[in-house]
Structure 1
């Protein structure tokens, strides 16, 4: 058995690989077609012009679905552990799942509202994705702190805290540099500007902002690598419960009496 076949660790692995492939594919396509500059464009700029816009949107929607699935499994795992260790953390765990769903919703908004068409909705999506996503990271980090040493080690807590600090630093850097960039270009529709010339007003702030955005995306995606070890311990099991021996009401079928026991059939070994 390969390592990614153990438990459900394929979920966070698929999320990280697919999301990274989304950004890389859109970037390579946009650069080859000369829709953006090769020097660190905004991630959203690489998915603004067709044909990469369509592929970027579809792939990012798939990433959002994988994100919800991963966060739900994480929520159920911690819920089961909290029943054993500390039931008071259930609300914090639920809050983390809600924040995670909000971040995934933001990815869908970014995927369907391009920066150059409806900038306000695109901005809302970006805030949901990265802002709410950063809160999700810190909630999970706090849970890791409160559940050590029985569930999580100190190493895992410090790893997640480091990723959270990295994410926060990237957000602050991107926000400050973006404010400087927009203020240095009055009257210019910066959200529609896809090509930049070195030395022009706002170029330095633009580069810092784009580097911060790529750093933010990398930190956010990297956080899910910390789930791999935990997800190896999770398996799924589905039980089929038949209440009768036929699917439709028909005189040709004998109805199940009270003496007929219900049938169960395990489909997948293991449990959450």
Structure 2
């Protein structure tokens, strides 16, 4: 059995690889078609103009669904590893699930509302994705703190804490540089500005802002890499509980064959 077939670690692996592929594909396509500048454009700018925006939207939606599944498995795993008396940990775990799903929903908004089409909705999606997503990382770091040393060691906590600091530092850098950029370009429709000339007004804050955004995205991807080892130790199964021995609505059908109430099959496991 290959390492990525162990348990459910295929979920965070698929999430990381697919999201990275989304960004890389959109960037390469947008640069080759000269829709953006090669030097560190905004991620959103690489998915703004057709045809790359069509594929970018579809791929990012799939990333959001993978994120929802990954966060749910993480929630169930923590729930199974903690006793009922640890109410603080259970509350943190539930809060993390809500924040994670909210962040994934924000990713869907970003994917389907381009900044040049409806900037206000795109901005809301970005805040939900990155802002709420950063809170998800913070909550999961606190969960890791509460779970050591009886569930895992300190190393994974320090790794997640480091990524959390990286995430919030990127957010602060992007926010400050974006404010400076917009304030230095009064009357300019920055949302529709896809090409920048070195030396022009606002160019340096723009570059700092775009680098910060890519750094923020990379920190998110890196955080989900920390789930791989944990997910190797969990398997999800589906159980079919038949309520009837037929699928007809009419009461005239009365098939007396024995109902198999114990059918189980792996939903997502290493063998699929």
> Fold-level match, TM-score > 0.5?
yes
Deviation string 1:21-50 (CA, Å, 9 cap, x unpaired) is 000000000000000000000000000000
Gaps of 5+ in 1: none
Whether the 8 Å CA contact 2:242–2:259 is kept in 1: the answer is no
In structure 2, distance between residues paired with 1:270 and 1:190: 45
Q: Secondary structure at the match of 1:267?
A: strand
Identify the residue that residue 261 of structure 2 maps to in structure 1. Answer: 263
Whether the 8 Å CA contact 2:103–2:132 is kept in 1: the answer is yes
State the TM-score, normalizing by the size of structure 1.
0.94
Pair 270,83 (structure 1): closer, same or farther in 2 beyond 3 Å: farther
Q: Does 1:254 align with 2:252?
A: no
The Cα of 1:266 is off from its aligned counterpart by: 1.8
The Cα of 1:150 is off from its aligned counterpart by: 1.1
Q: Does 1:200 align with 2:183?
A: no
Higher relative contact order (CA 8 A, sep 6+): 2
In structure 1, distance between residues paired with 2:268 and 2:33: 48
In structure 1, distance between residues paired with 2:15 and 2:237: 22
The Cα of 1:261 is off from its aligned counterpart by: 6.9
In structure 2, distance between residues paired with 1:183 and 1:87: 47
Identify the residue that residue 26 of structure 2 maps to in structure 1. Answer: 26
Q: Tell me which moved more, 221-230 or 75-84.
A: 75-84
Q: Secondary structure at the match of 1:263?
A: coil
Pair 253,179 (structure 1): closer, same or farther in 2 beyond 3 Å: same
Identify the residue that residue 89 of structure 1 maps to in structure 2. Answer: 89
In structure 2, distance between residues paired with 1:127 and 1:219: 16
Number of equivalences:
268
Q: Secondary structure at the match of 2:263?
A: strand
Q: Does 1:55 align with 2:55?
A: yes
Identify the residue that residue 238 of structure 2 maps to in structure 1. Answer: 238
Q: Secondary structure at the match of 1:237?
A: strand
The Cα of 1:221 is off from its aligned counterpart by: 1.2
RMSD (CA atoms): 1.7
In structure 1, distance between residues paired with 2:188 and 2:123: 17
Q: Secondary structure at the match of 1:241?
A: coil
Identify the residue that residue 45 of structure 2 maps to in structure 1. Answer: 45
Identify the residue that residue 35 of structure 2 maps to in structure 1. Answer: 35
Gaps of 5+ in 2: none
Deviation string 1:235-266 (CA, Å, 9 cap, x unpaired) is 1222222233222246464347xxx6753112
In structure 2, distance between residues paired with 1:186 and 1:101: 36
In structure 1, distance between residues paired with 2:187 and 2:115: 17
Identify the residue that residue 113 of structure 2 maps to in structure 1. Answer: 113
In structure 2, distance between residues paired with 1:10 and 1:227: 10
In structure 2, distance between residues paired with 1:114 and 1:240: 42
Deviation string 1:144-185 (CA, Å, 9 cap, x unpaired) is 001100112110000000000000000000001001111111
Q: Does 1:226 align with 2:226?
A: yes
Identify the residue that residue 148 of structure 2 maps to in structure 1. Answer: 148
Deviation string 1:70-102 (CA, Å, 9 cap, x unpaired) is 000100111111236724311111000000011
State the TM-score, normalizing by the size of structure 2.
0.94
The Cα of 1:269 is off from its aligned counterpart by: 8.6
